[in-house]
Chain A
Amino acid sequence: MKYHEIKDLLRQCHGFATLCEEDLDLMAKCGVNAVFREGQLLAQEGHPADLFYLIRNGKVAIETHVPHRGTVTLQSLGTGEVVGWSWLFPPYLWMFDVRALEDTRVISLDGKCLREKCEANHSLGFRLMKTFMGTLVARVHDARLQVLDVYHSPQGG
């Protein structure tokens, strides 16, 4: 896949809406196309988080293993969503497993390379940090709403 096609895909991603052309250029240069078959792992808990993904098509599950309970899915992410922020924050390790729930096409982005560019250029670092913080905040809100278990009570709507 050509670099400008990757850039177009990044530009269409709602999460990257605030990034300028220059930033998209830089990110696109760190991107390659990848495909994961249903059941395949995109990331493994505890492993170095040197990559992150933009889902072009498909669905993945954020999972963890709980003793005596087995694998627990915490959230699913689908087309147009960004997977992974651990590449940007120490200790740069994946916090959860990420598994393809169906055949999934992604843009795989080199987070390690981008991280180094952010260290060298703090203005870029701030813009990327802001962008990924937005995703992170949205995920925290999601998790809180899930914890509230809003449909459970008799007042459940």
Chain B
Amino acid sequence: MTSIALRKDIPSAELEKSQIAFSHVTLDLGGKTIIENVSLDVKPGEFLCIIGASGCGKTTALRLAAGLYQPTSGHVSFDGEPMRAPRRDVAIVFQDYGKALLPWRTAAGNVALALETIGMPKAQRPARIDELLKKVGLPNHAAKYPAEMSGGMQQRLQIARCLAQEPKALLMDEPFGALDAMTRQGLQDEVLSLLDASKATVIFVTHDLEEAIYLGDRVVGLLPHPGRIGIDLPINLPRPRDQLTTRENPEFLRLRRELFDFIKASEA
């Protein structure tokens, strides 16, 4: 728990409650059990990373957290309320950013979609759009269409739209999976500094073990067929994290080894 307190100042009473809670969640899809008996508590402000072999159910778990799927048995709750449908204060960043943006709207228009829907008066929107695009490092691209932007820029734009929802929780499904290593590391740091400011709870799915350790307060590993929790590690690395020193930290290397062994065992 110290790791959470390190990242941001959250009253200790808040830490007692969980924001996203899975309790004995099982999900069947197409006659197959995809997720089996998963129980998981995510505290407000916590940065939880989910790792696991391909096809183990990471995306499915995230969609359950988003309310896009309903469990076959057990339940998912958010701030103590059952999650029966997607909520506006839970934003989801999809891996396939190209499909999650409106290609006929400019960058500004895509952010505006969220602002329109939360009912922000028209007069206030331009300032907010500027602020959000600046936050994700796209201040000079407001008039560009997604087709005119690189993959990294499109993913930033999707994150800006999600932030426009003013989410209490941000769910990210391999958001940087399709990007090159340099872009990826840059975005990792940007996400960390953005979320430090917003105090949002994060569930971050990745198959990159180092990315999970670098970003997270905690890493949960799923076992495949059906998806179950196989490992749950707190990450006690100091913040702010740094691409060089954090990755050279002996604790980082130890955690990487532990997760690597876990993945290897889970695939066997």
A, B bound: no
Instruction: Enumerate chain A interface residues (CB-CB to B < 8 A).
Output: none
